[in-house]
Amino acid sequence: MESAGQVQRLRSEDSSWEEAIGSSRAVAAGDRVLVSGVTPSPAAGSAPGDDEPYGQALIAFRGALSALEPFGLDAASVVRTRMYLSHARDADEVGRAHREVFGAARPAATMVVVAGFADSRVLVEVEIEAYRGDARRGPEEPGEREEGA
């Protein structure tokens, strides 16, 4: 993790894609934490299944939420989601996964169909944005989080 003023960047240790294109898994700027596109990828230890949009969406959402953990945030902090689908037919299943993960938080959500992904087995990619309230709070170090917080 690097910090420059009010901007902190979190890099995944298991993502060669981030290194290859020069990106970060999550970037905190001010009161927002933006999580880049997450897919169920073999590089992340979860191979996508063919024709499993619900399962792929759950894996992707969980991966995106794990990028919020170093900032002390969770699904309740998410204010916006974006879902990119390779097939319109998968909208209901991806929506079901979204409702399961974010139903209580009810973030603003966008779902669009795209031409495809770099890995043709991928059916869904997700992005999330979270609100952290206190713009001065940076990522937590392991063991810093208080119980019950």
pLDDT digits (tens, 9 = 90+) for 121-146: 899 999 999 999 854 455 555 444 43
- pLDDT of 125: 95
* Cβ proximity of 93 and 67 under 8 Å: no
Q: What is the mean pLDDT of residues 104-113?
A: 97
| Predicted structure pTM score | 0.77
Provide the pLDDT confidence category of residue 25 given band limits of 50, 70 and 90: confident
Tokens of 54: 């619900």
pLDDT digits (tens, 9 = 90+) for 61-98: 999 999 999 999 999 999 999 999 999 999 999 999 99
Task: Measure the N-to-C terminal CA separation of the chain; round to a whole number of Å.
Answer: 23
* Residue that the structure tokens 């060669």 belong to: 16
Backbone angles phi, psi at 50, to 5 degrees: -65, 135
For residue 24, is pLDDT > 60? yes
